Amino acid sequence: MPRCFWCNDDPLYIAYHDNEWGVPQRDPRALFEMIILEGAQAGLSWITVLKKRERYREVLFGFDPQRLARMTDEEIEARMQDPGIIRNLAKLKAARQNAQAWLKLEDPVNFLWSFVGGQPRINHFNDRGDVPAVTPEAEAMSKALRKAGFNFVGPTICYAFMQATGMVMDHTVDCDRYAQLTRL
């Protein structure tokens, strides 16, 4: 099956590409998880985070924002010793801060989807050079999330989040998922 240029031959990456990336996601827990993971990815490759995802789910309370918002400094310090996650103090504190900010949003799902008008944006990119790293919508999302108290939500992170959760569909036209997802 032809896949996007960024998908290597790692089975975990292939499964992510084929089943998750670009599929419209409206489940609050899944969206929250992706905000946290995209922030953890800052400065690293996505496959690094993807390989640590299951451990993140274990140590960050299944991405339960209620519980994560109450994570103590001692719990954060304990996680800093866990080689199964990315041991970055600022990113771990941001996970707690983002959980607190998430809980203050009246309707996080609609809030996030509002940056694309509530419907997925289907792009028709021919190759990797066509796919942007940032868009005005991602810049607006970043600004609004920061204003709401989130951290590690720069415009590039927000665009990656939008791609991952299907707010924008950026599978290139030569990828089999492009045809599948444009039919949805």
Among all residues, which ones are annotated catalytic?
A: 16, 38, 46
Nearest to 16 by CA among 42, 54, 43: 54
Can you give the length of the chain in residues? 184
d(CA 42, CA 156): 9
Taking every pair of C-alpha atoms in the chain, what is the biggest distance, in angstroms?
48
Q: In terms of C-beta density within 10 A (0-12 exposed, 13-18 middle, 19 or more buried), how is residue 91 classed?
A: buried
d(CA 129, CA 111): 30
Residues whose CB falls within 8 Å of the CB of residue 59, separated by 6 or more in sequence, listed in order: 79, 82, 84, 85
Strand ranges inside 18-158, DSSP E: 121-122
Strand ranges inside 56-140, DSSP E: 121-122
d(CA 115, CA 166): 12
